[in-house]
Amino acid sequence: MSESLLMILIVEDEVPKSTQIELFLRALCLPMIIKTVRSVNSALDNLDESTPDLVLLDMSLPTIDVDIPNKESGGRAQGFGGIEVLRYMSFMGMSCPTIVITGYEVFPREGGDIDIPELRKELIEDFPNIIHGVLHYNSTYETWKTELRAAFETFKMDRDFD
């Protein structure tokens, strides 16, 4: 068993969603440090500073953080902003386990929309050393917690955490 703190990076621009994810993680009662960033650029900056043990990544993210209301737009959320983070991690040779947690069930794109199972398949094919799960977040249901727990358990077994 590792005695060190588990370092988790949550990349999520919606505060209620990131709060629920953090509450879920804290309920696991493992020694951890959780950092939350809210944009593609903040995620890349954080990854440049240090590699976390686990990334929980949203797919739809703005390019930059929005810290001051009514000042800077931060850009419109990109439907596949999370892909930019994954591409960067792959380019930099990071094999940091990542679990994608998206609030969308379908992603529009050129050539036709894709759903969660298709997205999961593509991400695992494109980023086999990074992706450890892709799940749908819906605050109305508990399904996301069950799926995140299962993905987290797989991650723990891979990392030998108790």
The CA distance from 9 to 150, in Å, is 18
The CA distance from 120 to 111, in Å, is 18
CATH architecture designation of domain 6-159:
3-Layer(aba) Sandwich (3.40)
**pLDDT value for 10:** 97
- Determine the straight-line distance between the first and last CA of the chain, rounded to whole angstroms: 6
Q: Would you state the structure tokens that stand for residue 146, as one six-digit string?
A: 């069950």
Spell out the domain ranges in the chain. Answer: 6-159
The CA distance from 65 to 26, in Å, is 25
Residue with tokens 């951890």: 32
63 three-class SS: coil
The CA distance from 95 to 16, in Å, is 28
pLDDT tens sequence across 124-148: 999 999 999 999 999 899 999 999 9
Q: How many CA atoms lie within 13 A of 3 on its CB side?
A: 0
- pLDDT, one tens digit for every residue, the chain (162 residues): 345 789 999 999 999 999 999 999 999 888 899 999 999 999 999 999 999 999 999 998 988 876 645 445 555 555 678 999 999 999 999 989 999 999 988 888 888 889 999 999 999 999 999 999 999 999 899 999 999 998 888 777 666 554
